[in-house]
Amino acid sequence: MTKTKFSISRRALLASTLPAASLFAFPALAQKASEKIPMVELMAPNALPDIVQGKADAPVTIVEYASMTCGHCAAFHREVYPTLKKDFIETGKVKFILREFPLDPIATAAFMLARSLGEDKRDAAVDLLFAQQKNWAFTETPVEGLASVVKQAGIGQAQFEATLKDTKLQHDIVAVRDRAAEKFGVNATPTFFVDGVKYAGEMKLSELDKIIGDAAKAPTEAGK
């Protein structure tokens, strides 16, 4: 990932995300299934409420940990997610949860802005930010680029500035990330949990289709 330049005076509140972010990386290739996290642990309350897409009683649950500045995350949401949503989420086969796992200060800022729109609009803002990632994440002036993109979601300059000063929201987003790292071993983005089974790295539609099919056939875990 290309490092961006930051104006400390405008993003000093995000500095606390830097040490942990340096521990994480962007994997290029999908990995085989690794350990399984009990669903009762994976779905325990977080510092921020989950935003669930799909039916609450869908037979398969997918949790994605993503960073707004991760190119592989953007590719998944651009190339795979639309079909996942159409064929699996909207048909009641899967419920999908995206959780914040920012890898750097600008990713934290992007998630803060998306959350500031409310639970009913956060995912639409995430989709917009991923779709236009190249226009803000990897520029010489990422804050200005981010402000320009989120205007399309209805965030004016006053709300933009106020949101980036919201230290509680920042703390909660970082807490979601840190819990995933400490409890579930997440150390890269994207990382997916399909009914608790961990898959780290890029996910192609053909792979996801098989994984969902296998999960649907597996015995339902008690406490899910």
pLDDT in tens, 33-44: 678 999 999 999
Alpha helices, DSSP H only, in the chain?
8-11, 18-21, 39-42, 71-79, 81-84, 105-116, 119-131, 142-151, 157-164, 167-184, 205-217
The top-level CATH class assigned to 27-215 is alpha beta
Beta carbons of 110 and 70 less than 8 angstroms apart: no
Tokens standing for residue 223: 């406490």
SS3 64: strand
* Structure confidence at residue 117 (pLDDT): 97
Band (pLDDT 50/70/90 cuts) for residue 24 is: low
**Higher pLDDT residue, 17 or 157?**
157
What are the helix and strand counts (H, E) for the chain? Answer: 11, 5
Percentage of residues in the chain having pLDDT higher than 90: 79
Q: How would residue 217 be classed by pLDDT, with cut points 50, 70 and 90?
A: confident
Residue-level pLDDT at 13: 41
Domain ranges of the chain: 27-215
